[in-house]
Structures are given as structure tokens and as C-alpha cells.
Structure 1
């Protein structure tokens, strides 16, 4: 017996930076999906599929343009996965590869209020200082970890490399 073929109908999931409910749009053709996306009030004028895909990538997760329902569902499931906890040596290696001070790095990750505080936070995370209240090593919060992974990707760094 042949396996059922995946039905290709483009889908867009749109979670806007604006204060509105999310939109899930599905059309028979990419051109029709582009028209539906452009009809939303939060959408800039998107001239083609590529500009729509790019704009969707800049929106909050799980926004995106998908070729099939299965692809969209897989993307949403991935968004539910926990953010990994990165070891201090990976964080330090990443910061050093970017040529940033601890304060600059913390600012880029959205950590701390002052440069002194930012420096101390990153230092404590890099050395995996034990938190007195929890008894666990200090780690980046999930949002900062996502920002670190995005910065590493922008700089072409491989976080999986062993020392």
C-alpha cells in the first residue's frame, strides 16, 4: 500500500508584536496566502512570498510560513521544547569569540541593570557559581539563552564544539 501523500497547502501562523489575537491562515495557493496575510491590519505591505516569509520570521514564535499542516504542527511542537541549559564554559567561549566584555555580553542578552551588575552576573554564570538559595549553579534564563543562540548564529559560531 502506498503511504498517503502530504497535502501541500501553504499555512501562515502569525503572532504579531501588536496587541491582537494570533492568526492562522491556510490557502490553496501561495499567492492567495500572501493576499490573506496582506489583508491583516498588522502586516506591512509584503510584495512577494519571500518578503512575507522574512517578515513572519521576525514575529514572535511560533510565527512562520509553512508548506504543509504537518510542517506547521512540527514547528509549534518545537516551540514547546524547553530551552537547553548551557554550561558556563560554553557561555564564556561564546562571549570571548564575539570579543565582548561581560557587561556588553549581558546587555546584549538583556541581563542586569548596571554594567557592574551585568559583569558580575555573567561572571557568576561562566564559573557556575552556586546560588545560595537553591544550591544550584547559576545559569542563563531561557530568554537570555535564546538570545545567546541567536547571537552565536549571527556570528557563525558553533556552540556544539568541544573544547
Structure 2
């Protein structure tokens, strides 16, 4: 395989495969640190013992950049579309540092209310450059019945649509 080092990046710089690999490895390490932080701070047995969650970094358009290699694959699959839906509902121009978004919408997350997503925009200056996402399975969201016995979404527990959890850290 021949690498043409005269290829240009979108920003106009020279494409450097070694630097790209170093940066990509750093992004994966950041996602792994996110994963480790969730594991260490979770009070849920499902997260602590079963490790039923995922962490991912995405670009400003919702495309996957890197995810923890320990993340549950189903969560890695849904995070790009979830981030795009967030951008539709809350345009990037309206986001500010300290904003945090969440949902347990089963049509956006992984199929039931017990999967909760937390999405945080990452800024460089005043511009959103990426998103840090975590989706985790919780042991209960307050449903009246066991998750496999419910007859409709309302019996499964508390439903919250895509919403802003923190507005500029408030």
C-alpha cells in the first residue's frame, strides 16, 4: 500500500498518517477513560457487574470518532443517530458550554426505558467540535411490572423525551 503524503486534509493541511494514528489512539483512550469513570462511579449493579453501557466520542455532525473497546456494541450503533436527533431538536448554534442532554426514549436509545443516554457537547472556544455520549442500562425506571411482563410503554416506567438536563451547568 502506498500512502500519498501530499493529500490534503479538509482544513488544507498535509495528511500525516502517523499523526492521525496518534490522535485516533488518544480519542480511543479518552473514550476508555469515560468508560472507566462510569464504571467506578455507578451505583447500579447492572453497570458495575454486567457493564451494560457504552461511551463514545462523536464529531459535531454526529459521526462516530471513537468508542471504548469495552462498550456494549448495541449502544455504539445507536449513538450517532441519537446525536443527530439531538442536533435536530437543539441546533448546535443554541448550545453552550455546560449543557447536558438526556433521554430514555426507546426509539432513540436501545429499545426500552431502562436505557438512559447522556449527551454532552464539547467546545473549542465557542464552537461545538464534538459530543461525548454515554448510554447505560439502569436496573429500574419505576415501572409497575418487570420489564419482560409489561404490556405497553407506560407500564415500563418513567419516560422522558430528549431534553436539556443542564443549561450552561445550571
Please report the TM-score for the alignment, with normalisation by the length of structure 1.
0.23
Query: Which is richer in helix?
Result: 1
In our comparison, the structure showing a higher alpha carbon Rg is 1
Please report the TM-score for the alignment, with normalisation by the length of structure 2.
0.23
Query: Which is richer in strand?
Result: 2
